Structure 1
Amino acid sequence: MMDNVSQISMFFLSGLNKTNNHRFTFFFLTSLCYCVILIANSSVIVIIIIDKNLHEPMYIFLCTFCMNGLYGTAGFYPKFLWDLLSPVHVISYSGCLVQAQVIKSFVCADLSILSVMAYDRYVAICRPLEYHSVMSKRKVIILVCYSWLTPFFIIATNIFLTSRLKLCSRYKARFFCVNWTIVKLACFPSETAVDNIVAYIIIVVYLIHALFIVLSYMYLIKTCANSIENRAKFMQTCVPHLISLLVFLVTLLFNVVIMRFGSKDFPPAFKNFVEIEILVICPLINPLNYGFKLSKIRNRVLDVFTIK
């Protein structure tokens, strides 16, 4: 019998059913990973906030980047850790929509912030004399708001459309919620046409972001090749951005390919990791990457932990 969306108040998640024998091991490893993510990202944020020498556009965008990492992981880890210790894995319908909103907007905001960082490095290296006039406080605030609010409201539109669908099942073969897994439960595929169109628009918008980032760095590499000074600046400030971009794109591509087209023969533990890798690798690697590569942050960290 078809259940109207208003009658579905709870989803049953079956993604962790085959890992019950190792749930305490997974709980320990996940707790350790989340603690490292919290400490690493929070440390970078606090250092940038308290050190006035780091109140520059590049570090403000980095602070935004780390805040986004905390935002995205907060939508997943607490619920996941609870489920690892719980015999029944359920999530409310509204909670599922909120989790889908947080995770998807986190991914899109990461790409938006990387594009803003690419623009900042382009101005710093290619137009150094105009840098402070172009990257004014007002411009920085606008770019920060753009990188956070635009993904949030675009994804909120997508989630709102999903919330209007009539669903025929309350069982999800996953252990967390993403939008397309909810859409797949729709009773009438014809009703998902608008959702699919919005989803394709979102993909196109963020493919444009990715293209902008790639073209920006190609131009930067070409510009820096003829100048020793620019080459040094590129290696110091752009390489961390490139590493973050590469990690993000490879992780996202691997995630999409395996989740949508991957074989059902993969072990459950492997498929589970693939589903959450973007919530593990990026928030974990990014603050460590910038902490080691950017000398101002690295030196500030050493000052904190070194007794002089």
Structure 2
Amino acid sequence: MDDGSNVTYIIVDGYVELRKYKYVYFFIMFFAYILIICCNSTIVYLIWIHKNLHEPMYIFIAALLLNSVLYSTSIYPKLLINFLSDRPIISYPACLFQFFIFYSVGPSEFFLLAAMAYDRYVSICKPLQYPIMMTKQIIILFLGLAWFVPALHSAVPVTLLSSTKVTFCNFYLKGIFCNNAIYTLYCATPRPVTVFGMFAVFAVVILPMLFIVFTYTRILIISHRSCKEVRKKAAETCSPHLLVLFNLTCLSVYDISIVRIESDFPKTARLIMALQIILYHPLINPLIYGFKMKEIHKHLKRLLCQIKMH
């Protein structure tokens, strides 16, 4: 679809009964967006102001939650505009930008969880070497890799799609934001994009996952052989990360496979899964860390008590 200004517009066609429920959609998603910003920012704020939370594990948690804010901000404002529009559309460049942010932030979470796994491994299995192995420089290196590597991998297909002359077979995006579903718009996805996409999945999703699984397996084996106190520490600090990893993996499997099963996937089910990605995941992370991490929960409880008193 073209409005005569040489800008391609795509119709966002993943909603169910949008005209009938557009105000319901708007108020629910507006409330969800405010909640996501407040919940994630609160935990980041607590980590920022309390010196006892200036440890590698909490710094990685703060980075993970900042990712949720960035990711949500790249999607929600446009969603809210679409809900109130007569015809929800997005320009092709804006769609590619959403695609870039989505596939920078998502894999970045795998890298941050891998950094947390390494941190827990050193803390539990090599406590005497922890100050040497988790220096400030190492933390900065992990954060840099977690943000730079996925962004680089995401930039490659976006650059290829921007610079390559692609042919659109339709302009109806079967989703509510631009993820893998954009490939269904093309008559044929450029081969370099397909080949690089397979490599990227392996490099920024599968490899970090294998590292995480290997690391936590080692932690489990060593803590099982150790005293009760070590086992308790391992359970308290590792279980929130594993829960977040499980949620992220499930949503990633759906996102990777949706293009292949697009024609057989009901519209309502597709909408529910899309809402899981943009609503459930950014909201559940601060709740998991806010209530499952003992030190964060302690400061959060104190903050809520102070708010009540005022």
Tell me the residue number matched to 2:156. 157
Aligned residue for 2:118? 119
Matched, 1:243 2:243: yes
Amino acid at match of 2:181: T
Q: In terms of mean alpha carbon deviation, does 224-233 or 268-277 score higher?
A: 268-277
1:253 is displaced (CA, Å) by: 2.0
> Conserved in 1, the CA contact under 8 Å of 2:183 and 2:259?
no
Q: Which runs of 4+ in 1 moved over 6 A?
A: none
Letter in 2 for 1:200: M
CA distance in 2, matches of 1:194, 1:258: 20
> By how many angstroms is 1:257 displaced?
3.9
Alignment RMSD (CA, Å): 2.1
Which letter does structure 2 place at the counterpart of 1:197?
Answer: V
**Distance apart, 1:13 and its partner CA:** 2.2
**Greater Cα offset, 224-233 or 195-204:** 224-233
Q: Is it true that 1:70 corresponds to 2:50 in the alignment? A: no
Corresponding residue pairs, total: 301
Gaps of 5+ in 1: none
Give 1:172's aligned residue: 172
State the AA in 2 paired with 1:63. Answer: A
- One-letter amino acid of the structure 1 residue matched with residue 197 of structure 2: A
Once the two structures are TM-superposed, the CA of residue 260 in structure 1 deviates from its matched residue by 3.2
CA shift for structure 1 position 48: 0.5
SS at match of 2:35: helix
Shift of 1:8: 4.1
The CA deviation string for residues 121-143 of structure 1, in whole angstroms up to 9 with x for no partner, is 11111111011111000110110
In the TM superposition, residue 186 of structure 1 has moved relative to its aligned partner by 3.5
- Which amino acid in structure 2 is aligned with residue 94 of structure 1? P
- The code of the aligned residue for 1:199 comes to G
Percent identity over the alignment? 31
Letter in 1 for 2:147: W
* SS of the residue 2:11 aligns to: strand
Q: Secondary structure at the match of 1:11?
A: strand
What are the Cα deviations for residues 74-127 of structure 1, in whole angstroms up to 9, with x where unaligned? 111111111011112111221111111011111111111111111111111111
Check the 8 A contact 2:181/2:259 in 1, yes or no: no
Match of 2:43 in 1: 44
Q: Deviations over 1:136-177 (max 9, x none)?
A: 001101101111111111101121011123233361233321
Secondary structure of 1:12's aligned partner: strand
- Structure 1 pair 17–238 and aligned structure 2 pair: CA distance change class (3 A): closer
Deviation at 1:273, TM superposition (A): 2.1
1:20 and 2:19 aligned: yes
Contact in 2 for aligned 1:165/1:186 (Cα 8 Å) = no
**Aligned partners of 1:16, 1:25: CA distance in 2, in Å?**
12
TM-score normalised by structure 2 residue count: 0.90
Q: Which residue of 1 aligns with 2:299?
A: 300
**8 Å CA contact 2:40, 2:69 repeated in 1:** yes
1:253 is matched with 253
Give the aligned partner of residue 87 of structure 1.
Answer: 86
Code of the aligned partner of 1:61: F
- Is the CA contact (8 Å cut-off) linking 1:259 and 1:275 kept in structure 2? no
Partner of 1:142: 141
Q: Distance in 1 between matches of 2:117 and 2:291?
A: 19
Alpha carbons of structure 1 residues 17 and 89: separation in structure 2 relative to 1, 3 Å: farther
Question: What letter matches 2:243 in structure 1?
Answer: I
Structure 1-normalised TM-score?
Answer: 0.91
Offset at residue 38 of structure 1 (A): 0.9
Q: Bigger shift: 13-22 or 36-45?
A: 13-22
> Which digits, 9 at most, give the CA deviation of each residue in 1:231-250, with x for residues without a partner?
01111111110111111112
AA matched with 1:140: I
CA shift for structure 1 position 284: 0.8
Corresponding residue of 1:200: 198
Q: Unaligned stretches of 5+ in structure 2?
A: none
Residue 263 of structure 1 deviates from its aligned partner by 5.8
* Matching residue's letter, 1:128: P
Partner of 2:53: 54
Is the Cα–Cα contact under 8 Å of residues 101 and 155 in structure 1 kept in the other structure? Answer: yes
